Structure 1
Amino acid sequence: MFAQTSFFAVLATVVSAVVLPRAADTTVTLVNNCGYQVDPAAYPAVTYNGAATGGFPLAGGASASVTLPANYSGRIWGRTGCDADGNCETGQCFQGGENCTSPAPTGPTLAQFTINGYASSDYFTPTGQGNFNIPLTITPGSGCSTAPVTCTDANGDGNGCGATSSCPTGTSYTIQFC
């Protein structure tokens, strides 16, 4: 009886590993179209250059890719006017300086993500109303028919500002600042 039970347990494990879809990490490309440095921040941490981080400087005109782990639920935002210690004019982190270790403060424009959420979908929301420091656009990659969503000002103007959109899990995204 034990051998039969063990066989079925092993068989179930092998079948689930081969057949069931697995949530994958998600790539987000951050593009700074502002004429000045923006320090992207993320909470919880994302992976940048192979290491977990809550933030880093991004020069005007530059781009960088970060990885959101499978089942990530968090926020990415742009900080402005930051010094080398991570003290910023807007989007200041409560803890961690340049490498944020705390949730987003009140004030910055947010890109909120839930990766591999309900029905194996990703959900994302740009939020600007009541929270705005710089324009922000989220553009889904191939495999998703959702149009880019953007927040352009503190009034919540833009295409889809404050509204939650979805894409199939496995979609990559671009966040454009300015």
Structure 2
Amino acid sequence: MDFLLSCYSSLTLSFFLLIIFTGVSGTILTVVNNCDYTVWPGIYNAGGPILDSRGFELTQGSSRSFQAPTGWNGRFWGRTGCNFNASGQGSCATGGCRSGQIECNDMDLATPVTMAEFSLGLTNGQDSYDISLVDGFNLSMRIEGRGGQGTCLFPECVND
């Protein structure tokens, strides 16, 4: 199955893309920044192995991919207006980790924050995904599924 996550801001058409390709070795997650500014995606691993990053800088037009094995469970969110020093300490205007690190070490986030949640192969071998506003809204998001079995709706949250 292939998923596409886009975040939209009120100033740009698309902010943040997440593409997932599922195969026998797991799922490749690709985050792409289509905004006209830098974003700092955060990643929380709720179950399964930790991905090779928990937070990073993503300049306009750039992308980063991750290999997520079946059984991975986690969340992605966008942070904006961040400023980190050479040791990865700093802060963000929205979505920042309270630890003040670029590599978030927990889910103690400065709210509000829009969250994309994924569970890969945990429910009868099926992948599931959603957009959560439980912790508030800071960025618009869209998730699109491609491939796999059946027809799925694409969740989207374009404003609070």
Same fold, TM-score > 0.5, yes or no: yes
- Deviation at residue 135 of structure 1 after TM alignment: 1.1
Q: CA RMSD in A?
A: 2.3
Aligned pairs (5 A) from 1:11-160? 24-44=25-45, 46-47=50-51, 52-84=52-84, 85-95=89-99, 97-103=101-107, 105=109, 106-128=111-133, 131-144=136-149, 145-154=151-160
1:75–1:104 CA contact under 8 A, matched in 2? no
- Deviation at residue 147 of structure 1 after TM alignment: 3.6
1:114–1:123 CA contact under 8 A, matched in 2? yes
**Identity value in percent:** 33
Q: Aligned letter for 2:73?
A: S
- Alpha-carbon distance between aligned partners in 2 of 1:108 and 1:46, rounded to the nearest angstrom: 21
Bigger helix fraction:
1
- Alpha-carbon distance between aligned partners in 2 of 1:123 and 1:73, rounded to the nearest angstrom: 10
- Alpha-carbon distance between aligned partners in 1 of 2:38 and 2:27, rounded to the nearest angstrom: 25
Q: Aligned letter for 1:149?
A: P
- Alpha-carbon distance between aligned partners in 2 of 1:35 and 1:82, rounded to the nearest angstrom: 15
- Alpha-carbon distance between aligned partners in 2 of 1:137 and 1:88, rounded to the nearest angstrom: 22
Q: Cα distance 1:96–1:130, how it changes in 2: closer, same or farther (>3 A)? A: closer
Q: Aligned letter for 1:152?
A: V
1:39–1:79 CA contact under 8 A, matched in 2? yes
Q: Cα distance 1:60–1:141, how it changes in 2: closer, same or farther (>3 A)? A: same
Q: Aligned letter for 1:115?
A: L
- Deviation at residue 95 of structure 1 after TM alignment: 2.5
Aligned pairs (5 A) from 1:154-169? 154=160
- Alpha-carbon distance between aligned partners in 2 of 1:94 and 1:77, rounded to the nearest angstrom: 14
Number of positions where the alignment pairs a residue of Structure 1 with one of Structure 2: 129
Query: Secondary structure at the residue paired with 1:41?
Result: strand
Bigger strand fraction:
2
Question: What are the ranges of 5 or more consecutive residues in structure 2 without an aligned counterpart?
Answer: 1-22
- Alpha-carbon distance between aligned partners in 2 of 1:104 and 1:25, rounded to the nearest angstrom: 28
Q: Aligned letter for 1:39?
A: W
Please give the TM-score of this superposition, normalised by the length of structure 1: 0.64
Q: Cα distance 1:46–1:86, how it changes in 2: closer, same or farther (>3 A)? A: farther
